[in-house]
Amino acid sequence: MTDDIRTKKLFNAPEDIITHAIEGMISAHPDLLCVQGATGRAVVAKDGPRDGKVGIIIGGGSGHEPAFAGYVGRGLADAAAVGNVFASPAPEQIMDAARAADGGAGVLFLYGNYTGDVMNFDMAAEDCERLGIPARSVQVTDDVASAPKGREGERRGIAGDFFVFKIAGAAAEHGRDLTGCVAAARHANDNCRSMGVALSACSMPQTGKLNFEIGHDEMEIGMGVHGEPGMRRGKLATADEVTDELMAAMLADMPLGAGDRVAVLVNGLGATGPLELYILHRRVAQILGERGVAIHRSWVGEYCTSLEMAGASITLLKLDEDLQLLLDTPCRTPALTVAGALEPKGTLTRRDHSAAAAGTAVNRAALKTDGTVTPDVFRAMMLAAADAIHANRDWLSELDGVIGDGDHGVTMDIGWTAVRKILSTEQDGTISELSDAMGKAFLDAVGASSGPLYASAFRKAGEAVADRLNLNADGMVAWIEGLCAGIQARGGAQVGDKTMIDAWVPAVAKAREALHSGGSVSDCLAAACQGGISGRDYTATIESRRGRSAKLGARSLGHVDPGAASAVVLLTALRDTVQS
């Protein structure tokens, strides 16, 4: 069982992993890279951004090295926003990258098609527009295992990032405008297919536990780069048999024939060495040769990993004249160099990215003061919630490891640790002001999908009680209802999708019932817990329809959604604090 296995990694402290890795990367490549921005998470090309050039910004969670920061450099990406392990960067981290790469011609965001990345980059794009920076986005959707033909927009982005990033960076290097760079990136994505196989599990540094179980003689075909289960699990096959299955799926989705040209990437997932990868490429070349398909270029090695997972993926990029031109355009980054002459470094004019601060002073004299939940009590409730999430961190991550990427507990703990910190400095705020501060702290610390969802939740909850200093039962229920409304507004999930909404909606309904029956704050919170528990348990009986686990279908049955489980942890902590 995975509970009995503890993995070993070389790091100093879990909270310093990303900071220390970035410091090491900069110290290894001081001629290529630097860090810009207050978050410390924007890795920027020293010889990249310049006036009149579209800024190419890539990003995603850590644990996939050399993706993403390894592709920052001249002729490729101008900057990368670096998220926590397996978690999207937060909007402010993305904005640091956007401000650094802004040459006055707009910015293009490129990232894998995952819920958290989409939400965080969308929020950053909204911020860019407010600052007068034109921003566009292209999501990479190369993984044929994650959705059938005809539903390409639902597919995950895996190692195909490598080709899409390269093409977009070259388009910008050639001086194409924002529309032209978007078109090039989309054209590359439309002609890119990937599929992978996993032989062993990976583990989160913070937990030291394997994300999932797989037998010593088993393999998972179609697994995602975060450890998400794939299309099927079966007995370990030979290298040629595995390659045949991966190639068959890709060629059925994107037929290739005599006269076609492709670029090939055989990518290791972290613990599979060149010896095995070259054996896979051998068979890829045989299959393509039998079809009369020419290989223009090949890359074999680790380009998009999954921590220490054993396994590999194969990516094909079908080339035409323009894609070949862009693929062959010189670039120089830590992880990829295409030889050739680069133009002399251009100049970059630093632009004023400041925006007028919004906000109006609160007139406390006009706020309603009835209710037992004062700002101090509210602060105690939130601190108890932070403690509860920390205590349940590993359990929540284990739940997520079964149907997701295994980081939910870690991510929530990071977010609530940031909330704890902000509550120690915000000593005089109203409940509405504290909620806003908590939302910003959570979002800046986390990213992922939880960041935008809970940031929107806290903001909406704060708005719902903006007329109150203290919360009575009605105010407490309004605050919880605001949480639920904020999550739904940002994420779009509905009851039955197997998400945290399946716990929050019945929690609100039960709390409303208790309120209408004359219940106290304590009664309403107790009822909310009952509703949340029923919703959490309900998620084990349904298939997932949203997020990373949506690819699992019937394989998600029998497993509780980790977001719904964490909702119950939070509600229970709030209830217990009030009752005590």
CA 185 to chain centre: 20
Cα radius of gyration (the chain): 24
Q: Give the Cα separation of 502 and 435 in Å (integer).
A: 23
Exposure string for 551-579, b = 16+ CB within 10 A, e = fewer: bbeebbeebbbbbbbbbbbbbbbbbbbbe
Q: Give the Cα separation of 251 and 346 in Å (integer).
A: 42
Active-site annotation holder among 29, 64, 226, 408: 226
The H or E element spanning position 436 is helix 431-446
226 classed as catalytic: yes
Tokens representing 135 are: 């921003």
Tokens representing 532 are: 């949340």
Are 117 and 91 in contact by the 8 Å Cβ rule? The answer is: no
Specify the 3-state DSSP secondary structure of 300: strand
CB atoms within 10 A of CB 29: 19
Are 61 and 204 in contact by the 8 Å Cβ rule? The answer is: no
Sign of the alpha-carbon torsion through 494, 229, 444, 43: negative
Q: Give the Cα separation of 575 and 572 in Å (integer).
A: 5
Are 556 and 549 in contact by the 8 Å Cβ rule? The answer is: yes
Q: Give the Cα separation of 99 and 120 in Å (integer).
A: 16
Q: Give the Cα separation of 448 and 47 in Å (integer).
A: 29
Q: Is 553 left (phi over 0), alpha (psi -120 to 50) or beta?
A: left
CB atoms within 10 A of CB 537: 15
Q: Give the Cα separation of 572 and 154 in Å (integer).
A: 35
DSSP output for 467-528: TBSSB-HHHHHHHHHHHHHHHHHHH---TTSSSTHHHHHHHHHHHHHHHHTT--HHHHHHHH
Q: Give the Cα separation of 356 and 62 in Å (integer).
A: 33
Are 168 and 187 in contact by the 8 Å Cβ rule? The answer is: no
Q: Give the Cα separation of 99 and 509 in Å (integer).
A: 43
- Residues annotated as part of the active site: 226
